[in-house]
Amino acid sequence: MRTAKAFWEKTAVWLERNRKMVLLALLVLHGAGLAAAFWRFGVLLYPDSPSYIEPAQSFLSYGVMADGDGLPTLFRTPGYILFLAAVYGAGGSNTVVVLLQMAMCLGIGCMIYSIVESISGRAALGLLGLLLWVLHLENYDYTLSILTELPFAFSCVLSLFFFSRYWRRKRYRDIMACFLALNYALLIRPQLMYYSIIVAIGLLGAWLAKKISWRVTVLYVCLFLVCFGGWCMRNYHHFGDPQYTFIRHKDYLEYYAPYVHGVVEKVPLEESKEYFHNQVRGEVPDYDQMPVVEKLYVGANVGKAYVKEHIGAFIVVNLKGLVMEMFAPGAGFIDSFGLPKWLTLCCYGFSALLLAVVYGVYAVGFLKNLPALSGLDWLIFLSNVYLMASTAVVGYSRFRMAFYAPCLIGAFLCWRKFEKKAVWKGRKKGLGEKVSP
């Protein structure tokens, strides 16, 4: 233990002295890795990719975000679609989209270093966080994909970056930038819907309790109403229903209930999906002739009823999904290299080991300094819990992109030198402190 501590102290001193050189080397390494992956695979299109590409092309041509069947998109929120439309409208292609996402991926690495270094005052911690981001294999897969993973992760980290600046300097423009990034992340993926509502309610309550500035609350609520409320109004206009998104309705029939059914009956997922589709058609004979939104509600009700009957299995599915989401090594991407089996297995193990190190560092540091943690530490921790739990039922490693960078930030911030007194006292006023324009 003493040897490890002495080694870390010597390493930390070296990293502090050579911070610029190491920072540049890691960014160059990351850029080279992304460029090599792009040279090897090019633009990656997944089954979900057309559900973003087609609405973007439709928006440019007709002013309506519609799917390939010509119907307004039901399941996708507009953030990523608008990003694609902007690139296409400027004469760009999916290649340009991926190049921009590569820049975002590098930007996330820079923000991980900047946040950790500026809050902790220790460049070594920021450089370790950046190193673990560079070594995260999913970066080299989903950065090349026409999917929301990378832009959503970038927007979330960007909001955290500006909030950390506001935490230190209490400048109004930083909290404004934080709220803009957070609400754009909400427009990219509805995963943040409940999180954003909680934030809005919390800010309203804090304002009424006179703990924060009214300007901060009004700013966030206005942005939230424009983004969230605006898309709800769009859906009401097209479908007569002000739901923010209908993806959850589809998921109950296509994923949640079938996953639970698969655990209960021990059958494959596709067989479970077919079971529920047959059940819906059996209960509602004219199901296929119903309007699309009504079909979604009928299917969701069947799925919800089954989940409620097997709530224990649903909890098991979520726990299994959470483990897969946190630790799955991105097997599809590793397999695509066609390496020998033994080397492929080594890559699996190395990826899982790195993930275990991140979570272990976070858990030990969090518990070790629990009495002294600041409001910022708790905010990052609870946000990570929300991002993990909100997609756990599916359990895809791609959803780890949303919380992996915030986990790195939270993990290494927990190892900074805390004040002797609880930091809560030093941050007593929090958002309520006067801000400068």
Greater confidence (257 vs 329) lies with 257
Q: What is the pTM of this model?
A: 0.90
Question: Is the per-residue pLDDT at 421 higher than 60?
Answer: no
pLDDT digits (tens, 9 = 90+) for 10-20: 888 888 888 99
**Residue 140, pLDDT above cutoff 60:** yes
Does 133 score more than 70 pLDDT?
A: yes
Residue 5 has pLDDT above 90, yes or no: no
Nearest to 172 by CA among 217, 138, 204, 205: 217
Write the single-letter amino acid at 228: F
Average pLDDT, the chain: 89
pLDDT-derived band at 419, boundaries 50, 70, 90: low
pLDDT at 97: 97
C-alpha to C-alpha distances, 219 to 130, 164, 388, nearest whole angstrom: 32, 18, 28
| pLDDT tens digits for range 82-116 | 999 999 999 999 999 999 999 999 999 999 999 99
- pLDDT value of residue 143: 95
Give the integer Cα–Cα distance in Å for 164 and 181: 13
Q: What is the pLDDT of residue 428?
A: 42
The mean pLDDT value for 59-70 works out to 91
Mean pLDDT of 389-411: 91
pLDDT in the model for residue 285: 85
